[in-house]
């Protein structure tokens, strides 16, 4: 596609439920990032995928968070047993290897009630 | 630990005047700096960047200045236009690590 696509754009879930957020990066971009923005905060790094290398998971806030990237393209961020503090906008971005200018999707607004 | 800081959460400026956004960083290993612009309900879009080997980069109405000794960068928008009203994020990275560290953002409002 022309840009980074994320789905769903909005998700409301009950506390304790699991959610899956999807990211479809720009074709040919081997680097993929997940960030989140909580209300009034900056973008917080979650996880980084680069080609076939082991992902950098250093930003994942707890073991309830996991992400995978299948076939070097689409990525899914999974949050298990959601908590209210997980409410945020989750942003996916992709870039070419060696380029730091990442292109962001429109984000998924997650609300845990 | 917030390695990139934008201490002004908001800025209001008259149309046609200069907008100056400031950003400070603490990690001396950062050598690449970017500004992103974000409209409501959209993802951030890349605006302008600067490498640590330079102290200024200009692109049309947007200029970024880097002061490495002060660990400070700024974004100048001249002249400011109503369409510039958005949230601006400062970001930094190391050349051997493409992970971006972002500031909290500055909301710019350009008054007509």
**Span B58-80, pLDDT tens digits:** 999 999 999 999 999 999 999 99
Are B33 and B49 contacting, i.e. CB atoms less than 8 angstroms apart?
yes
Find the residue in B nearest to A34 (Cα).
B99
Distance from CA of B108 to the nearest CA of A (A): 15
**Half-sphere CA count of B13, side-chain side, radius 13 A:** 23
What single-letter DSSP state applies at residue B16? T
pLDDT at residue A98 in the model: 64
d(CA A79, CA A8): 14
Nearest by CB to B43, from A44, A99, A105: name it. Answer: A105
- Given this model, what pLDDT does residue A81 score? 98
Residues of chain B contacting residue A41, judged by C-beta atoms under 8 Å apart: 104
B102–A42: do the CB atoms touch at under 8 Å?
Answer: yes
Q: What distance in Å separates the CA atoms of residue A58 and residue A82, rounded to the nearest whole number?
A: 20
pLDDT of A100: 67
pLDDT at A43 over 70: yes
Per-residue model confidence (pLDDT) at position A50: 87
Name every chain A residue with its beta carbon within 8 A of the beta carbon of B64: none
pLDDT for residue B1 is more than 70: no
Residues of B in contact with A33 (CB under 8 A): 99-100
């Amino acid at each position: 596609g022309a840009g980074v696509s994320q789905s769903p754009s909005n998700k409301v879930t009950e506390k304790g439920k699991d959610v899956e957020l999807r990211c479809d990066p720009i074709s040919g971009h081997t680097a993929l990032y997940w960030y989140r923005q909580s209300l009034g905060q900056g973008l917080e790094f979650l996880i980084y995928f680069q080609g076939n290398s082991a992902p950098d998971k250093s930003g994942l806030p707890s073991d309830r968070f996991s992400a995978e990237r299948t076939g070097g393209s689409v990525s899914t961020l999974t949050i298990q047993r959601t908590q209210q503090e997980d409410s945020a906008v989750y942003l996916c971005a992709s870039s070419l290897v060696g380029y730091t200018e990442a292109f962001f999707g429109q984000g998924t607004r997650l609300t845990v009630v | 630990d917030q390695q990139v800081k934008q201490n002004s959460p908001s800025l209001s400026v008259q149309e046609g005047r200069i907008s100056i956004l400031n950003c400070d960083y603490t990690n001396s290993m950062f050598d690449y700096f970017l500004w992103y612009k974000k409209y409501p309900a959209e993802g951030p879009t890349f605006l302008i960047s600067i490498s640590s080997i330079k102290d200024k980069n200009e692109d049309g109405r947007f200029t970024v200045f880097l002061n490495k000794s002060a660990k400070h960068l700024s974004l100048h928008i001249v002249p400011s236009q109503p369409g510039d009203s958005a949230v601006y994020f400062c970001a930094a990275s190391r050349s051997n690590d493409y992970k971006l560290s972002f500031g909290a953002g500055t909301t710019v409002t350009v008054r007509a």
